[in-house]
Amino acid sequence: MGKFLLRRVANAVFVVLVTTFGALVAVTEWGDPFRMIGPRMQTPEARAMLNETFGLDKPLFVRYLVYVGNLFSGDLGIDFERRRPVIDLLAEAAPNSLRLALVALAIQVVVGVSLGIVAARLRHSFVDTTITFAAITITVLPLFVLGVWIRDAFSGRSIFGWEAFPLIPRSIGIETTWLQELILPAITLGVGALAFTVVLARGAMIEVLDADYIRTARAKGLTERRVLFKHAARNAMIPVAELSAVQLGALMGGTILVEAIFQYNGLGYLFVRSMNENNHPVMLAVTVYSVALFVIVLMLADILTAWLDPRIRTFD
């Protein structure tokens, strides 16, 4: 297990370093962020001074080494627009994205696995056909379409006098709670990823239910509930756990599309605003943070999968 962990950590570090270099090239090498500030065109002298101030006058490889070194100290640069440390902007947005990711993942896993187990248990029945058809329909529906429909259908609506879903676009001067801002994007993300979990859980459960050890457990006189949840569900959840880890990594990194649709103040919406401002340090920090978080979650998923099935680390 020690060698398995060491390989996974080394792979994660390598991917983060390579991705950081690619992000630095993509963000800083295309276009001059100081050509326009506000409505005014900057002189070459002013742009040269700004480039020197923010370290953009150094060679690419030097900037990369400096940036990687600063990552370990938490120095992600200064925001071009508001002259604030980028780490402060991430600290404000990351908890919102984490909250959104966890709620969306809970919807995806709890509802998706439950529907998948029911469909597998009642395979080839009307219930199975209905669940599978609904899952496939949701799969082919673009997330953008689903998000816009949910936003237009529910934003500004009240439930028993409580404005559960605030109006989008946001109105100036009207305050909303974190729960009001969270509900619609969490439902969109959870339902959008639900179909994959349903189909995967159903297929895994069907495969496990046909295994010899399940027939042996039934022959011993165990109840169907115990066979289903204690013996079958654990092995069937291995691919679901891997998918959930991928989904969690992507969601925690910031789902740009959904956060932009609902103007949810997470990492994705921060990235969109930074693109509009051509704000290199924030764009780069969000990209590196998202990739690093995604890789770490995948690494933890590999470790969890190896713990659930020792054969994986044996033949890795």
- CA torsion angle 276 277 282 286 (round to 10): 0
For 215, other C-beta atoms within 10 Å of its C-beta total 12
Rounded to a whole number of angstroms, the distance between the first and last alpha carbons of the chain is 10
Residue 55 to residues 49, 51, 126, 181, 289, Cα–Cα distance (Å)? 10, 6, 64, 38, 21
pLDDT for the residue numbered 219:
74
Contacts of 252 (CB under 8 A, 6+ apart): 97, 98, 101, 290, 293, 294, 297
pLDDT for the residue numbered 8:
78
- Place domain 92-315 in its CATH homologous superfamily: MetI-like (1.10.3720.10)
pLDDT for the residue numbered 109:
86
Check pLDDT > 80 for residue 218: no
CATH 1.10.3720.10 location in the chain: 92-315
Q: Across the chain, what does the average pLDDT equal?
A: 78
Which of these ranges, 43-57, 167-181, 273-287, has the smallest mean pLDDT?
43-57
What is the Cα Rg of the chain in Å? 24
pLDDT for the residue numbered 311:
60
pLDDT for the residue numbered 23:
81
Check pLDDT > 70 for residue 1: no
Residue 177 to residues 91, 95, 180, 214, 296, Cα–Cα distance (Å)? 19, 14, 5, 48, 31
- What are the tens digits of pLDDT across the range 233-277? 667 777 777 777 777 766 766 578 888 888 888 888 888 888 887
pLDDT for the residue numbered 52:
66
Give residue 210's Cα distance to chain centre: 34
Name 37's bridge partners: 40
Going along 26-181, which residue ranges are E strands? 36-37, 40-41
- Reduced to 3 states (helix: H, G, I; strand: E, B; else coil), residue 224 is helix
- CA quadruple 199, 203, 204, 205: dihedral positive or negative? positive
Residue 73: Cβ-neighbour burial (10 angstroms; 0-12, 13-18, 19+): exposed
- What are the tens digits of pLDDT across the range 85-125? 888 888 888 889 889 988 988 888 888 888 888 888 888 88
* pTM of this structure: 0.75
